[in-house]
Structure 1
Amino acid sequence: MTQESAATTTLTLRDARALITAAMTQVRHSPAEAEIIADHLLDCELRGLSFGGLARALSVVERIRATPAPPGPIRAVAETAVSATLDGGDHVGYLVGMRALDLAMDKARAQGVAVVGARNTWYTGMFSYYLEKAAQAGFAGMIAGSGPAMVAPHGGSEGRFGTNPIAFGFPSTPAPIIWDIGTAAVMYGEVILKARLGVDLEPGQAYDSTGASTLDPAAALEGAFGVWGGHKGSGLAMVVQLLGMMTGAAADPPGVSDCGLFVLLVDPGTLTDAENYRRRVAAFADSIRATRPVEDGGAVRVPFDRSVACREEMLRRGTIEVPEAVVAGLRHEAGLPAAGEATEHG
């Protein structure tokens, strides 16, 4: 293992999107489904979260190829005017998450509040991706997600929680205020990518199957990840797991499966003047940014500021850097020739 960065390939945004969609259509996704997945993964890349970008596309393909049975329909198994529970049919979570979000926004428009749960899905992605869309539509919201037990509680070295992301979003201008974290010391996608590239984890992030600390991502995948935030983060991880389980998801599903997705949206207009609230959120965020920094510190930021700035810079640049091994793997899975390789008619 090494701490060195892996060699990368420069892709235009158009080529990156095309590569994802080509790989997704090779594993039973329709062009429309492939585009939904590609948009989510490319947004991860634009925001500097490469483990959730093209590398995740390769993991999606590998998971589908390892699952003989095709997914079933995404369907509502319970529904009221303000709520619904979806069975994801074992579809990848980017598709299930968008279905849950659209349903929640429809109900929140009609009733002012909505709660939608989804189960029997996997790889639900960045919750901030969904909350940005909700906030742009005027909603405040929270999303929490449970998953397979791979994170040890504080003081332990065996997995009991998922990596359990939780996020909150609020409408504001020019961009929404979104706080999106995972409750693990390292996210599953990061560990998978480092294992793929032969790169070490950071000290204190994981344990092997015997409970000993490890830097080896492959050993961590057989053991457990550490929890984020000590006993406070461990408590939050437990709460998120319980919210995910409220959808009917298992406490400890096998492998990469049955993640729980809990979506809560609120129209601020049910409680106050919605436009006035949006302006007050923006003013409050500006007051945080204007906070006097500590000595020798940089400017104070608000959550999601970094993502917005990074995405704007990437869009100006028009290219992203992707590990060569990931690009080669995706081209193979998409049935494309290796980079630089001539086709039969080339």
Structure 2
Amino acid sequence: MIYLNPHTARQVCAQAVKRRGVSTEHAKWFANALVDTSLMGVDTHGLRLLPLYLRELDEGRSHAIPNIHVQRRNGNVMVLDADQALGTVAGMYAAKLAVQEARSSGIAAVGVGNSNHFGAASVYGLEIANSGMIGIVTTSAAARMAPFKGKQPMFGTNPICFTAPADEQPFVLDMATSQISYSQVKHYRKLGLSLPLGWALDKDGNDTAEPDEVVSLSPLGGYKGQGLAMMVQVLSCLLTGMPLDHQLDHLDTGSFSKGRQIGHFMIALDISAFTDLRSFQSSLAGLMETIRSTPAQAGERINVAGDPQAQTRRNRLIAGIPASEEEASVLMAEARLCGLEVTSVLMNTAEVTV
């Protein structure tokens, strides 16, 4: 296994998009989104997507210098036109705007239209939480999941992210509304493994354990997952005027010369408008620790939302980010084009500067 240096990976990602015309500030947002996501262990939405995002810039799906602007506003409720920005740029712009507006009003809601794939929703939820606020983030996605008792994909994995600040470590819930992601199906197929029943469906809508037979994913918790997925569509698609999940091309298919018209939705809620922020953070930290310390099954431990990702981040800051040869070669090629030392992409555990 190859391990990548997180510090150098940030430099390479930022320089790669700057070479394509992206501003210094937006390049920083982009690089942080990819590297921080990989550090959390969400590899499907991190550095692995670099070549695809670069292709979006090269072929016109994403605009390097987008005209992101407020299309509609009513007080602290706004709808942004992202102008085919990189999804990571549109997402961070919206999160920062939501925080800014919530500072004066206590709460702000921002819808985003004409965007692209923005990676992990928790990136934007954490931006809000690290500003001392509660964050709620949703996004549309191309259809992978069938309705409960259905057999045709009609919903994306439609994530819901809820974040809140606490002493030491924030509460970070970032969950798909499907039983699994399609990336997991691909992973099982690559390894020649069978899927647990209940995860995915064949062409007739029946449970299947064979990755090659998968046509759609199962909703999380049956009809409950379907309901949550529809809620995400209402917020991310209907409020922003964007296409529904089943009307979208998938991330790696369709034309790369036009934007995908992805919709996002974010809420920032200023805790200090309700209660003392420090007291809230302390109380939430206490709640999290209380849950962790309750009796667990033999050989098991109890985590709260964000625990596995925080531990993975600590580990990877020391050991580096695991990557395939293909993923490492992409980063090394970009490093060469950016004038950076190619070998600096690889992790040197004797010196970690992140």
TM-score (structure 1 length as normaliser): 0.83
Which piece of structure 1 moves more, 143-152 or 100-109? 143-152
Which residue matches 2:318?
A: 316
Identical counterparts, % of pairs = 28
Kindly provide the CA deviation profile for residues 184-205 of structure 1, in whole angstroms up to 9, marking residues without a partner as x. 233355567x49x945575254
Q: Whole-Å Cα distance in 2 between the matches of residues 153 and 276 of structure 1? A: 42
Letter in 2 for 1:139: M
Q: Whole-Å Cα distance in 1 between the matches of residues 8 and 334 of structure 2? A: 15
Which residue matches 2:231?
A: 239
CA, structure 1 residues 105+50, in 2 after alignment: closer, same or farther (shift >3 Å)? same
- Residues 158 and 211, structure 1, Cα contact 8 Å, conserved in 2: yes
Which residue matches 2:53?
A: 60
Kindly provide the CA deviation profile for residues 209-246 of structure 1, in whole angstroms up to 9, marking residues without a partner as x. 67674514xx86xx433323322212211211211122
Letter in 2 for 1:260: G
Structure 1, gaps ≥5 residues long: 1-7, 341-346
CA, structure 1 residues 152+331, in 2 after alignment: closer, same or farther (shift >3 Å)? farther
Letter in 2 for 1:25: K
Q: Whole-Å Cα distance in 2 between the matches of residues 113 and 244 of structure 1? A: 18
Deviation at 1:320, TM superposition (A): 1.7
Kindly provide the CA deviation profile for residues 111-134 of structure 1, in whole angstroms up to 9, marking residues without a partner as x. 001011101112222222222222
Which piece of structure 1 moves more, 143-152 or 66-75? 66-75
Answer yes or no: is 1:225 the counterpart of 2:227.
Answer: no
Deviation at 1:97, TM superposition (A): 0.7
Which residue matches 1:215?
A: 211
Letter in 1 for 2:295: R
Secondary structure, aligned partner of 2:220: coil
- Residues 23 and 330, structure 1, Cα contact 8 Å, conserved in 2: no
Answer yes or no: is 1:46 the counterpart of 2:44.
Answer: no
Letter in 1 for 2:73: E
CA, structure 1 residues 325+69, in 2 after alignment: closer, same or farther (shift >3 Å)? closer
Letter in 1 for 2:54: V
- Residues 288 and 300, structure 1, Cα contact 8 Å, conserved in 2: yes
Q: Whole-Å Cα distance in 2 between the matches of residues 52 and 224 of structure 1? A: 20
- Residues 179 and 219, structure 2, Cα contact 8 Å, conserved in 1: yes
Q: Whole-Å Cα distance in 2 between the matches of residues 28 and 186 of structure 1? A: 36
Deviation at 1:34, TM superposition (A): 2.3
Deviation at 1:141, TM superposition (A): 2.1
Secondary structure, aligned partner of 1:91: coil
Q: Whole-Å Cα distance in 1 between the matches of residues 55 and 202 of structure 2? A: 24
Q: Whole-Å Cα distance in 2 between the matches of residues 190 and 35 of structure 1? A: 29
Which piece of structure 1 moves more, 83-92 or 253-262? 253-262
Letter in 1 for 2:120: M
Letter in 2 for 1:215: P
- Cα RMSD (Å) of the superposition? 2.9
Letter in 1 for 2:324: P
Secondary structure, aligned partner of 2:85: strand
TM-score (structure 2 length as normaliser): 0.81
Secondary structure, aligned partner of 1:90: coil
Which residue matches 2:267?
A: 264
- Residues 61 and 333, structure 1, Cα contact 8 Å, conserved in 2: no
Q: Whole-Å Cα distance in 2 between the matches of residues 151 and 136 of structure 1? A: 32
Q: Whole-Å Cα distance in 1 between the matches of residues 53 and 185 of structure 2? A: 15
**Equivalent residues, number:** 325
Answer yes or no: is 1:29 the counterpart of 2:30.
Answer: no
Deviation at 1:15, TM superposition (A): 2.8
CA, structure 1 residues 70+276, in 2 after alignment: closer, same or farther (shift >3 Å)? closer
Q: Whole-Å Cα distance in 2 between the matches of residues 335 and 207 of structure 1? A: 44
Q: Whole-Å Cα distance in 2 between the matches of residues 43 and 133 of structure 1? A: 12
Kindly provide the CA deviation profile for residues 69-112 of structure 1, in whole angstroms up to 9, marking residues without a partner as x. 84641111012331111111111211001110111001100000
CA, structure 1 residues 114+149, in 2 after alignment: closer, same or farther (shift >3 Å)? same
CA, structure 1 residues 200+258, in 2 after alignment: closer, same or farther (shift >3 Å)? farther
Which piece of structure 1 moves more, 77-86 or 266-275? 266-275
Answer yes or no: is 1:88 the counterpart of 2:82.
Answer: yes
Which piece of structure 1 moves more, 159-168 or 70-79? 70-79
Which piece of structure 1 moves more, 23-32 or 115-124? 23-32
Query: Structure 2 matches for 1:94-173, cutoff 5 A?
Result: 94-173=88-167
CA, structure 1 residues 138+190, in 2 after alignment: closer, same or farther (shift >3 Å)? same
Q: Whole-Å Cα distance in 2 between the matches of residues 234 and 150 of structure 1? A: 12
Which residue matches 2:288?
A: 285
- Residues 56 and 62, structure 2, Cα contact 8 Å, conserved in 1: no
Answer yes or no: is 1:73 the counterpart of 2:75.
Answer: no
Deviation at 1:207, TM superposition (A): 5.0
